[in-house]
Amino acid sequence: MSPRLILFPVPLSQAPGSPADVMPARNIELLSEVRHFVVENLRSARRFLRSAIPDFPIDDCTFSELNRHTRPEDIAAMLEPMSRGFDMGVISEAGCPAVADPGADVVALAQRKGYEVVPLVGPSSILMALMASGFNGQSFAFAGYLPVDDAARASRLKEMQRRIIREGQTQIFIETPYRNNRLIASLCETLPSDMLLCVASDITGPDQSIVTLPIARWRGRKYNYDKIPTIFLLHKN
Amino acid sequence: MSPRLILFPVPLSQAPGSPADVMPARNIELLSEVRHFVVENLRSARRFLRSAIPDFPIDDCTFSELNRHTRPEDIAAMLEPMSRGFDMGVISEAGCPAVADPGADVVALAQRKGYEVVPLVGPSSILMALMASGFNGQSFAFAGYLPVDDAARASRLKEMQRRIIREGQTQIFIETPYRNNRLIASLCETLPSDMLLCVASDITGPDQSIVTLPIARWRGRKYNYDKIPTIFLLHKN
The answer to whether the Cβ–Cβ distance between A128 and B117 falls below 8 Å is no
Give the pLDDT confidence of A121-165 residue by residue, as tens digits.
999 999 999 999 999 899 999 999 999 888 999 999 999 999 999
Question: Which pLDDT score is estimated for B100?
Answer: 77
Looking at beta carbons, which residues of chain A come within 8 Å of B142?
138-141
Looking at beta carbons, which residues of chain A come within 8 Å of B170?
none
Question: Which pLDDT score is estimated for A21?
Answer: 86
Entry pTM:
0.95
Give A146's DSSP letter. Answer: P
Give the mutation candidate from B121, B207, B212 for the A interface (greatest A CB count, under 10 A): B121
Longest dimension (CA), chain B: 61
Contact B196, B213 (CB under 8 A): yes
Q: B188, B206, B209, B208: which is closest to B197 by C-alpha? A: B188
Give the gap in angstroms from C-alpha B180 to the nearest C-alpha of chain A: 19
Question: Which pLDDT score is estimated for A14?
Answer: 66
In chain B, which among 179-198 make CB contacts under 8 A with chain A? 198
Question: Which pLDDT score is estimated for A16?
Answer: 61
Give the pLDDT band (50/70/90) at residue B14: low
Question: Which pLDDT score is estimated for A15?
Answer: 63
Give the pLDDT band (50/70/90) at residue A234: very high
Question: Which pLDDT score is estimated for B214?
Answer: 97
Give the gap in angstroms from C-alpha A96 to the nearest C-alpha of chain B: 7
Range A46-53 average pLDDT: 93
Question: Which pLDDT score is estimated for B99?
Answer: 87
ipTM score above 0.90: yes
Question: Which pLDDT score is estimated for A109?
Answer: 95
Residue A192 has pLDDT above 70, yes or no: yes
Q: A100, A91, A66, A237: which is closest to A174 by C-alpha? A: A100
Question: Which pLDDT score is estimated for B226?
Answer: 96
Q: What percent of chain A has pLDDT over 70?
A: 99
Say if A11 is an interface residue toward chain B (CB within 8 Å). Answer: no
Q: How far is CA B156 from CA B135, B160, B162, B168, in A?
A: 20, 6, 10, 17
Residue A179 has pLDDT above 90, yes or no: yes
Which segment of A67-81, B15-29, B150-164 scores lowest on mean pLDDT?
Answer: B15-29
Residue B1 has pLDDT above 80, yes or no: no
Number of H helices, E strands in chain A: 8, 10
